[in-house]
Structure 1
Amino acid sequence: MTTTTRQTRATRPPSRPHHDDRPRPTRAHRTDGIWPWLFVLPLLIGVGTFFIWPILQTFWYSFTSWGVFGGATFTGLANYTRLLSDPQLYQSLVNTIVYTVIVLLGIPIAVWLASLLNTPGLRFAQFYRVLFFLPYVAMPAAIALVWRIMFNGDFGIVNWFLGRFGIDGPYWISTPGFALVAVSLVGLWSSLGFSMIILGAGLKDIPPELYEAAELDGASRWRQFRSLTVPLLTPSIFFVLVVTTISSFQLFDLLYAILGSTNPVIPQTMSLVFYFYNAGFIDNDKGFAAAIAMVIFVLIGIITVVQFRVQRKWVQS
């Protein structure tokens, strides 16, 4: 019987691995139907209606000229040629950059304040966070009205404080140069709360064991802040940097509310968006205003792209 079994095994064809000839579903064959699109459709409609379509419409208007009672006439690159030869464009650009740089100086201050509020055992830390965040959620017009009174050259508290040290303060909001600095300081102050909240959330993601190990190694508080806190907080710092830069290039409401519409320093202090407002709503030159808006859009896009390129060299992943 053993011999027969061996012969049968010898004559049996070698077994082959079983292959399933049925087609397996691949990514090309998988279809989820229209349900994903139906879920995304409301968002796409909102983005297309309120973002993409206005950008395309503004781009078209930038090549046209409008009459007093409407009616667009295609003028080609005339608006851009006129814009690039207007000295007010470059003055507004410089003012916007100066404002942005001063406001960005608040990020190191926000990092320092956020690290102080993150100190273990600090009492009333949440209360302090709310106090710093209130200016960010308050109405810009209300903030501007309060600071306009504080910056008053005759009875403002800022000049009163400077006078206690024998310094004769200027008329802040009606003197060229000082007006832009005053508006920038208000912008820095009002943006601290948002930056502190974002940076405070980033600080909570840093493991406390790292600080304990650094303290055992003899690292001082300053060394821990410089070698641990700041490098590990760079992703949050980068986010705040991008958001603050974009919002600073959109400066209008704070500037308009503090200076007003009849202030003699407006030509020397106006921002790019204020320049757009004057062209579109005061001079009623909609085609020229659309060209200004496209320049602002391109500048913000370029700066944002540069920031994302540069962040690879200093942001810790």
Structure 2
Amino acid sequence: MRNMDRRAALMKDCAAFLGPYPFNNITGDIIWQSFDHPGNTWLPGMKIGVDLVTGIQRNLTSWKDSHDPLPGSYTVSMDINGYPQLYINNMNGEKSLQQRVGSANGLGFTGMHGLMQINFSEFKFVYEKKKEMYIMFNLLNSLYFTKMILNYEGQFRQLVWITSNQSSERCMASFEDECKSYNLCGTYGNCNISTYPVCTCLEGFEPKVPEEWSVNNWSNGCKHKIPMNSETGHKFSKLSNAKFPDSRNVWYNSTMSRVSFNKGRGKKGDVNRRKPCSRDFFKDGRGGERREKGTIFVVSLSSQIGEIRREYPVNY
């Protein structure tokens, strides 16, 4: 092995940080590169996801503390079950899911308000069949440089360098309120930081265990006021400014277009062939990328929707 080509992309944020360092074999093929092992920092062009051939997980890993770069307690990783999304995991003791960053929609993540100003960045979800699945971001405006850091306390922070005035600022710090905790309000629960208590049930639902809700224990979530069945009518209720539910139990069809969905009347429509009494629907991603023709449309296979989190107006 020898280093045939050592490239560095320098980006400023008080101090410069380096881009990919690949090691190539004698024919020029890359056999190792630093971007496949990102540490605690996510840079433009860096992939967070899974290599489906080798099984390698490209995760962010926090430092042990603010001065010790040994692996710490937190990771940011992609869960490829259902519709892929990012999670923050706490690795202390048994691995536990601490917070859900959400799915990429092309402009950011559904669970992180304020992540990346849309005038200078672009997020992509990429799926190369049987090869790899990942999320990455690119810069669209040379006036700004940015990086994201998973700090030792498990917070996902974005730092931006503004070239015009040679200054840096922190645009976003994730998960700094009660509603960011994973599944705080339980199934069919709605978390709103501007109300007290923060947890309520969605329209048409009621607390599953009322006595627990009276002491602010919402973990068992809500249940239908009227049991669902396939004989009664159904309707969709609009819920604005809310984070999509956990999408681990959803199915996404890469070949079905919106046209085929809209024209479905229960006989020819792909969606309506399935029993409507136990299906929940999600909006498709705006900026996803797939290396083959087709539109990704997400349909839940579960009759239970995870907690909905409402926070701030989201301009995605």
TM-score range, shorter chain: under 0.3
Higher relative contact order (CA 8 A, sep 6+): 1
Q: TM-score, normalised by structure 2?
A: 0.20
More helix by share: 1
More strand by share: 2
